[in-house]
Structure 1
Amino acid sequence: MKPEELKLVVRDKYSQIASQSGNTSCCGPSYDCCGVDYTIFSENYTLLKGYNPDADLRLGCGTPTEFAGIQEDQHVLDLGSGAGNDCFVARAIVGEKGRVIGLDFSAEMLVKAKNNAQKLDFQNIEFVEGDIEDMPLASNQFDVVISNCVLNLVPDKTKAFSEIKRVLKPGGHFCVSDVVIKGQLPEQLQSDAEMYAGCVSGAIQMEDYLNIIRSAGFEKITVHKQRTIDIPQDTLKKSLSDKEIKGFQDGSTGIISITISGWTVI
């Protein structure tokens, strides 16, 4: 599939999730009717200050705000903000004088996020429609950029990290949770559009991911956390042979959630 076609797959899938969340006749808490159970990647947010259950669609693969070092009064950008889950947690940290912007390209997700912010009467959170590879945002305006299981869905990750560097202030940093792979992911899994939208097939080798970050000019790159994703047998059987499934089970091939940060040069 061409990059633009993949973007449409991702947009359509997450727009579908946004429209159906809360509808018990379809996706319910695991979204399994949408083709992939995305919640196998998610972590528990309920104990984090600022947590808003209405904004938690369980589509992340980590908790980047825990490792981002966000400070009071800072300006924070959340890429692929969805219904606003990480934005509300970040807002609890930056306080009344800080600012949080969520960027997403799904109109349906943006509607949910804006409704959630309106219910809480927050004046310093804004949700913007846009593409991570070409952000409609001015340069040098954010102290911290966060993202949760989104950048692996972006076809051109080099452009994505270049844009992150552009919008960060000198001395600013990013902290993202994302999905990378270990070993050689079977071709069928890599080309499966449903699995792409579910965070798997968009993933690349961890070292390739780190090299993209280095090439973008970031320094002090730190991997804070790694976690192997346990893919259900039923999901694997849709794309893999018994031999390939065994590779997942013996650890020679795997899908890993990482939380990683990097800093711009002052």
Structure 2
Amino acid sequence: MNTSEELKQIVKDKYAKIATQETAINASSCCGATPSSGEVYNIMTDDYSQVEGYNPDADLALGCGLPTAFANIQKGDVVIDLGSGAGNDCFIARHETGAEGKVIGIDFTEPMIDKARINADKLGFNNVEFRYGDIENMPVADNTADVMVSNCVLNLVPNKERVISEIYRVLKPGGHFSISDIVLIGDLPAELQNDAEMYAGCVSGAIQKEEYLGYIKGLGFDNMVIQKEKTIDIPDDILSKYLDAEGLAQFKSGTTGIFSITVYAEKPGSKTSKPKMKLSELQDSCAPGSGCC
């Protein structure tokens, strides 16, 4: 497999191209990076169209969940979106935090930052900011965010433990995150695991579910809850670009599972500005009509 820096460059190059692709291409492929499917339209994405604050110009169909719907964002919060793309989740978060709050999007693909800033200007949002940076080393001070969200991005980062430690650093004591991402159960075939398109497509960069959750627990977060989990089925017409007939049959009949999970967890500490949700509420905190239920 490529080095960490080579993987980052692959993602940068691919997502610079994806920034100018049609949304339909992204939705019918794996995060816009693989060939499109003629069998399935929305392979990973959830429907945002009914979510308040949604702006279609900012939706590139690159997510695998609806983390903002579960994130318990309150008026006046400081919210940070990791891998903010064209700004989709930032603008929805801004609807929740209001004009009195602040939303910061971080992305390391310059065309995405440019696109997001244009979208923010069109909407007239002066409290939504987009920063160029690597989420392994976030350009944000300690104890800044009330809430952090991310949608199908950590799987693209070589050092996931480092990102989770950065999330801990940047959250205020008592702050929390809600993050949607791709995880695995079982091993991918080597042809998928070592393919650059599948890495940029949010699949081969994913790690085992238990390893992913273990990093969150091990770095000190409390009250971790899986808020939503869904199976990702990659269509045969995409898989056949990487696997021969025998390999495809083995993969489809095997024990490997590809899942999108949305995980909530809290940084320990006291925060009096808003009430904590009960654990029972965290798994059912999706607003009716938001499309996440």
TM-score tier, shorter chain, comes to over 0.9
In 2, are the aligned partners of 1:36 and 1:195 still within 8 Å (CA)? no
Could you say what secondary structure the match of 2:233 adopts?
coil
Q: Distance in 1 between matches of 2:256 and 2:250?
A: 5
Q: Map 1:197-216 to 2 at 5 A.
A: 197-216=200-219
Q: Map 1:76-225 to 2 at 5 A.
A: 76-225=79-228
Per-residue CA deviations over 1:45-92 (Å, capped at 9, x if unaligned) read: 001000000000000000001111111110000000000000000000
Could you say what secondary structure the match of 2:161 adopts?
helix
Per-residue CA deviations over 1:109-167 (Å, capped at 9, x if unaligned) read: 00100000000110110000000101111010100000000001100001000000000
For 2:45, the equivalent position in structure 1 comes to: 42
Per-residue CA deviations over 1:156-191 (Å, capped at 9, x if unaligned) read: 001000000000000101110000012111122111
Q: CA RMSD in A?
A: 1.9
Cα 1:249–1:126 change in 2 (3 A) is same
Partner letter of residue 21 of structure 2?
Q
Write out the 4+ residue segments of structure 1 that deviate beyond 2 Å after TM superposition.
19-22, 27-39, 238-251
For 2:262, the equivalent position in structure 1 comes to: 259
For 2:69, the equivalent position in structure 1 comes to: 66
For 2:285, the equivalent position in structure 1 comes to: none
Deviation at 1:247, TM superposition (A): 4.7
In 1, are the aligned partners of 2:71 and 2:147 still within 8 Å (CA)? yes
Q: Distance in 1 between matches of 2:150 and 2:101?
A: 18
Q: Distance in 2 between matches of 1:189 and 1:97?
A: 45
Give the structure-1-normalised TM-score: 0.93
Identical residues among aligned pairs (%): 54
In 2, are the aligned partners of 1:17 and 1:31 still within 8 Å (CA)? no
Partner letter of residue 114 of structure 1?
R
Please list every run of 5 or more consecutive structure 1 residues that lacks an aligned counterpart in the other structure.
Answer: none
User: Which stretch has the larger CA shift, 74-83 or 234-243?
Assistant: 234-243
Q: Distance in 2 between matches of 1:85 and 1:190?
A: 29
For 2:20, the equivalent position in structure 1 comes to: 19
For 2:233, the equivalent position in structure 1 comes to: 230
Q: Distance in 2 between matches of 1:121 and 1:77?
A: 19
Cα 1:78–1:239 change in 2 (3 A) is same
Deviation at 1:243, TM superposition (A): 4.3
Q: How many residues align?
A: 263
Q: Distance in 2 between matches of 1:169 and 1:94?
A: 16
Q: Distance in 2 between matches of 1:19 and 1:177?
A: 24
Give the structure-2-normalised TM-score: 0.85
Q: Distance in 2 between matches of 1:37 and 1:75?
A: 37
